[in-house]
């Protein structure tokens, strides 16, 4: 279901996509189109929250692939296939740009997506190792991320470029994404996962924590309780939102300041659960359309 005022690829959105290539439509018409954003689940809502704080007039189509959550333990090739299909679906719904609001999907697929869709602007997630390396006083930085992120070339590149003089302590926090998907942001099980990851890092002198999964900002209050006020916790979402804004400005795709920013959700899981997550995590009521995956990894609106 496209956003209000949009049509599927068969109608005006299809024409807008063609016109963007041919230069036959106005920048104003394209600027009114929504941003497409996706994650394996609700983690990308942390990026959406930052985006709405900075650019409230932008409309967003948010795709939560909750039928496959979490992405972190999955093979990179599988995540890449999911990301490609979701990108195609969001473009079919009229998205003017794609935000890969998932560290695992960015690590697995961002370069491939840019090759596959060369005319589409993309913004992905990069572990905030650079600002951590620049700000650490002890020279010891903790990185919390999923296996797919740690295994990806993107993380390796960031470490190589920016972490020469820093000691990185890594943990995959098994089970944490599932806890956040369930809305268990501060229960004993969530605390136990974070305590197990963070206490050994603190013992080794860590003074900065990088959140390398978009789910993790939703447990920042609990992380701060554990690590204390002397440890800096880096949430990359505000920086990602600023990058989205820079690209929109540069490409003349920024929505009008008089526009009403609308949200619409899609999920391959339970639509009721995603609706509840929007309310719980962002405090907004958002219509959610269920979708289903076909055997050949295509996405269809569920009937």
Question: Active-site positions?
Answer: 102, 213
Rounded CA separation 30/13 (Å): 9
The answer to whether 8 and 2 are in contact (CB under 8 A) is: yes
CA distance 169 to 202: 10
Per-residue DSSP letters for 183-248?
T-SSSHHHHHHHHHHHHHHHHTT--EEEEESTTGGGGHHHHHHHH-TTSEEE--HHHHHHHHHHHH
Instruction: With H, G, I as helix, E, B as strand and everything else as coil, classify residue 93.
Output: coil
Q: Which two tokens stand for residue 167?
A: 């000691």
Strands 288-293 and 167-171: unpaired
Q: What DSSP state is assigned to residue 282?
A: I
CA 246, chain centre distance (Å): 17
User: Is 72 buried (19+), middle (13-18) or exposed (0-12) by CB count in 10 A?
Assistant: buried
Q: How many CA atoms lie within 13 A of 32 on its CB side?
A: 15
């Amino acid at each position: 279901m496209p956003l209000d005022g949009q049509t599927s690829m068969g109608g005006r959105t299809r024409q807008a996509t063609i016109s963007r290539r041919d230069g036959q439509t106005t920048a104003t018409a394209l600027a009114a189109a929504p941003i497409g954003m996706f994650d394996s689940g609700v983690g990308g809502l942390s990026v959406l929250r930052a985006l709405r704080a900075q650019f409230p007039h932008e409309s967003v189509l948010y795709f939560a692939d909750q039928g496959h959550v979490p992405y972190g333990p999955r093979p990179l090739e599988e995540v890449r296939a999911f990301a490609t299909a979701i990108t195609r679906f969001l473009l079919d719904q009229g998205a003017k740009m794609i935000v890969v609001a998932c560290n695992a999907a960015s690590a697995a697929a961002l370069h491939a997506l840019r090759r596959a869709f060369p005319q589409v602007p993309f913004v992905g997630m990069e572990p905030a190792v650079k600002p951590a390396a620049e700000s650490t006083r002890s020279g010891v930085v903790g990185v919390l991320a999923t296996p797919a992120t740690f295994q990806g070339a993107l993380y390796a590149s960031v470490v190589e470029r920016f972490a020469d003089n820093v000691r990185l302590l890594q943990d995959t926090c098994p089970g944490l994404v599932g806890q956040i998907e369930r809305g268990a942001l501060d229960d004993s099980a969530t605390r136990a996962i974070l305590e197990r990851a963070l206490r050994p890092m603190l013992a080794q002198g860590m003074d900065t924590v990088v959140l390398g999964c978009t789910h993790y900002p939703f447990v920042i209050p609990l992380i701060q309780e554990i690590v204390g006020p002397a440890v800096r916790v880096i949430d990359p979402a505000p920086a990602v939102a600023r990058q989205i804004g820079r690209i929109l400005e540069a490409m003349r795709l920024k929505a009008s300041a008089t526009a009403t920013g609308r949200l619409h959700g899609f999920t391959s899981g339970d639509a009721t659960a995603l609706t509840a997550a929007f309310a719980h995590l962002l405090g907004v009521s958002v219509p959610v359309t269920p979708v289903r995956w076909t055997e050949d990894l295509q996405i269809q609106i569920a009937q």
